Chains A and B, each alone.
Chain A
């Protein structure tokens, strides 16, 4: 069978971040409850950043490293998102343009809340496996930003929503999927998927998020269990505790995956609390590290956790990583792949930790200014020129060319590279 998986991978975690501990104090949140979130920082998208700038900035180093011949083999660009700003035009068209890709290419977008990145990845994997175009590559860009205007609490929409603010982040992961899986070789056919209709969290209006935090948490746990049960049906002898060197989770907040991991370890291998704690430190923490610094980047989060596990794990011997994705609404999937030392070295060349360190840390004053809305580009904006003097130090935070939104002209988004 054709090998398949991730040839190259990179992230973009924005130009600005916020220390969420300071945010929690500023908002006078119950600090004992806040600690259970297990979050440290979150990326905050600035007005001149949007899902396109995030996605293109993540993908650019991957594409630039290809020879012209290799680049021409990218025959599919999928954007995976719940933050698109147009119901018809796919963001993949903008990404394709700004990355300078071949026109003989499929361009489209996928949605299923936080599952979108993995949905896009699996579609790319199946395209490669189908061998309808031998040697082709697919570029999957999972990109999402948070909306900060929560809808008013209603009967089913709970009071806990204030705790979404410290964990709602932004980020993008770009994955080049091909027959040369240097970074992550997929275990073909080892997929447990599980989905059903549930109204847990959603984006029911253009600039609003809504949700029932309790329902979402329980649905996540139901899916975590059932997707692995399906995986186990298809992979003889799969053992939750022994088959995977590391686990990567969709991470709405750290405490969530701590609960999910504890539940899985108790149910699948009847592990005791001390053993579960040690296992969490050893197999889950490497994948949690970056997620704790970016916040929930929705469709990009599971793959963000995968980059964190690859960067921070020990791959002296090749390791299998088990990945769990959950998207509200809902659909979920447990799948796995192999990572080698070479894969880790290739990913580390992207210097993801440095990217996170380089972000401009917003003061509470800057952050509150941002929320007041006068600077926000609302859904449906027809014409606007972005203020380049707003937090200008963020624009050079990365010390290299970074794409920003310059203006919107008759709904068309125009961007500029700034160094």
Chain B
């Protein structure tokens, strides 16, 4: 799976968790926090994305992304090492 496809999965789950984002035009430098996702929402989005990717890694390894593009990058690298 490409990084772009992972980005699309993250944004899909972001919309599921925060329905108000349905019409939002997501950019790589959007931060989930600035889009209104609280820490619980963010953890849900990450968990749902990991499930969609069938990626079994500890959640704490996804910490450190400043925006959605960086999160997609981290998950892409993790998916490559499996």
* A residues adjacent to B (C-beta < 8 A): 33, 36, 160, 198, 212-215, 217-219, 221-222, 255-256, 258-259, 262-263
Contact = CB atoms under 8 A, between A and B. Distances in A.
Contacts of A217: 39-40, 43
B43 A222 contact: no
Contact of B43 (A160, A198, A218): A218
Given A218-B62, A219-B60, 17 more contacts: A36-B38, A160-B39, A198-B60, A214-B42, A214-B63, A217-B43, A218-B46, A218-B59, A219-B59, A221-B59, A222-B58, A222-B59, A222-B60, A255-B40, A259-B40, A259-B44, A263-B43
Contacts of B63: 212, 214-215, 218
Interface string B35-61: 000111011101100000000001110
A213 B40 CA distance: 11
Interface in B5-56: 38-40, 42-44, 46-47
A255 B39 CA distance: 10
Contacts of B42: 214
Contacts of A258: 40
B21 to A, nearest CB: 15
B40 A256 contact: yes
Interface of B: 38-40, 42-44, 46-47, 58-60, 62-63
Given A217-B43, A221-B47, A33 B38 contact: yes
A227 B12 CA distance: 30
A218 B60 contact: yes
A258 B40 CA distance: 9
A259 to B, nearest CB: 4
A212 B64 CA distance: 11
B71 to A, nearest CB: 12
Given A221-B47, A263-B47, A36 B40 contact: yes
A23 to B, nearest CB: 18
Contacts of A256: 40
A258 B62 CA distance: 21
Most chain B Cβ neighbours within 10 Å, of A36, A212, A221: A221
Contacts of B62: 218
Contacts of A218: 43, 46, 58-60, 62-63
26 contacts: A33-B38, A36-B38, A36-B40, A198-B60, A212-B63, A213-B39, A214-B39, A214-B63, A215-B60, A217-B40, A217-B43, A218-B43, A218-B46, A218-B58, A218-B59, A218-B60, A218-B62, A218-B63, A219-B59, A221-B47, A222-B59, A256-B40, A259-B44, A262-B44, A263-B44, A263-B47
A258 B41 CA distance: 11
A215 B65 CA distance: 11
A121 B46 CA distance: 34
Nearest to A160: B39
8 A-B pairs closest in CB distance: A218-B59, A259-B40, A222-B58, A218-B60, A215-B63, A222-B59, A219-B60, A217-B39
A213 B43 CA distance: 12
Nearest to B42: A214
A243 to B, nearest CB: 23
A259 B43 contact: yes
A262 B44 CA distance: 9
A33 B44 CA distance: 16
Contacts of A214: 39, 42, 63
Contacts of A255: 38, 40
B81 to A, nearest CB: 18
A324 B19 CA distance: 31
Contacts of B38: 33, 36, 255
A262 B40 CA distance: 11
A263 B63 CA distance: 18
Most chain A Cβ neighbours within 10 Å, of B39, B44, B58, B62: B39
Nearest to A158: B39
A266 to B, nearest CB: 8
Contacts of B47: 221, 263
Contacts of A198: 60
B39 A221 contact: no
A217 B43 CA distance: 8
Contacts of B46: 218
Contacts of A219: 59-60
Nearest to B63: A215
Contacts of A262: 44
A198 B58 CA distance: 12
B76 to A, nearest CB: 19
Contacts of B43: 217-218, 221, 259, 263
